């Protein structure tokens, strides 16, 4: 049975060294309506840039679940395994 507070929409966002794109993408999501119905699942494929810090700065605005892989699994495999 689903909890009334469970998000209705999940966005799965694999990431590998995408810091330069994160702010624009996260701002775009942040501007959506009904954020309480949305969860953002970001799967970091062992990035070595500062993307994690950018993601953490959005935690107060967005329902973000961050998954950190210890190797780059690629886009499709990261989506399937989580």
pLDDT tens by residue, the chain, 82 residues: 556 567 788 899 899 999 999 999 999 999 988 888 899 999 999 999 999 999 999 999 999 999 999 988 877 777 776 5
Domain span at 18? 13-35+43-69
Question: Is 80 within the bounds of a domain?
Answer: no
Domain assignment present for residue 54? The answer is yes
**3-state DSSP percent of the chain in helix, strand and coil, to 5:** 35, 25, 40
Q: Is residue 75 part of a domain?
A: no
In a domain, 61, yes or no: yes
pTM for this entry:
0.82
Tell me, yes or no, whether 27 lies in a domain: yes
Query: What does the alpha-carbon distance between residue 81 and residue 73 come to, in Å, rounded to a whole number?
Result: 9
Contact 31, 7 (CB under 8 A): no
């Amino acid at each position: 049975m689903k909890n009334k507070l469970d998000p209705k929409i999940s966005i799965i966002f694999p990431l590998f060294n995408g810091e330069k794109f994160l702010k624009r993408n996260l701002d775009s999501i942040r501007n959506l309506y009904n954020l309480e119905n949305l969860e953002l699942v970001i799967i970091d494929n062992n990035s070595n840039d500062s993307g994690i810090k950018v993601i953490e700065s959005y935690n107060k605005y967005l329902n973000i679940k961050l998954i950190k892989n210890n190797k780059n699994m690629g886009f499709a495999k990261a989506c399937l395994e989580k």
